Structure 1
């Protein structure tokens, strides 16, 4: 009988220990990780933000109106207002430059997301290839920080700035 009681007692202790481990494991995982909403939003911000930065760093002097409309489509706030306000000047500068610039995003990092304020910040590494009429194409790597707002039409860029590389960072 004693061995039998010892066996049942051991099984009961294992069950109780497993239950505690499960409960505390769930608490620990939920406390240390992001919520599903934040993870989903970070993915949305990364996808939309990197596409918007690629759009805003690409231009084609042979199709200025479409290029310019894409700029307006991916921007909001002061960036959008600046493009809208200076439309003819921007278009003239694009035509006069006579270049085609294409951007390829290499890496994107979401550095901040605020679900309540519906804002986010990303850092994007983008290679821009510039083709001037009769010259060989040149490629330049840029590091760009973009602030985004969540609008009714998705995430859009409201601020953009180039972040310089330093010798220590390369």
Structure 2
């Protein structure tokens, strides 16, 4: 019986067409699986980034509206500064220009208000800007005898990304 050559003397065995086709099919399936996994990984990451951005916008809008609706005559300067810190653009400029009068009126009338955001939702979003609808309940008291009964209001605030933080650039009440 003749020995089969081994090592360098061995003649490579020819693959059958069925084995070659099987290897090609497995390779194509592996590449398809990698492509699908990559696609789903990419879309999942995009969805997470968008959800995180929406969360940042809503958190900033909620805090901004609380700052706008919560004022205490005993710490009026600090409360006004909170609004200024959370705002930008024309809104900030106008609020700052009127802040001295606002503080004077608050202190004279001994105004205290407490705002609480009930709900907030992004109405529209375009790039680094978003319009947010906010339902807020506000309790107000003053020296004139205003009761602290909660008043429900709806606001629309436009949030703009500035220096890595979303800030209010426009605010108004919705009828």
1:7-156 matches, within 5 Å, as 35-115=47-127, 118-133=128-143, 134-156=145-167
- 1:44, 1:52 → 2: CA distance? 12
Deviations 1:90-133 (A, max 9, x none): 22222233210000100010122223xx1111110000011223
Q: Which runs of 4+ in 1 moved over 4 A?
A: 23-28
The aligned length equals 148
Structure 2 spans left out of the alignment, 5+ residues: 1-31
TM-score w.r.t. length of structure 1: 0.72
Unaligned stretches of 5+ in structure 1? 1-19, 165-170
Q: Give the Å deviation of 1:85.
A: 2.0
Secondary structure, in 3 states, of the residue corresponding to 2:87? coil
Larger radius of gyration: 2
2:134 & 2:38 partners in 1: Cα distance? Answer: 34
Deviation at 1:24?
7.7
TM-score, normalization: structure 2?
0.70
Q: In 2, distance between residues paired with 1:103 and 1:139?
A: 9
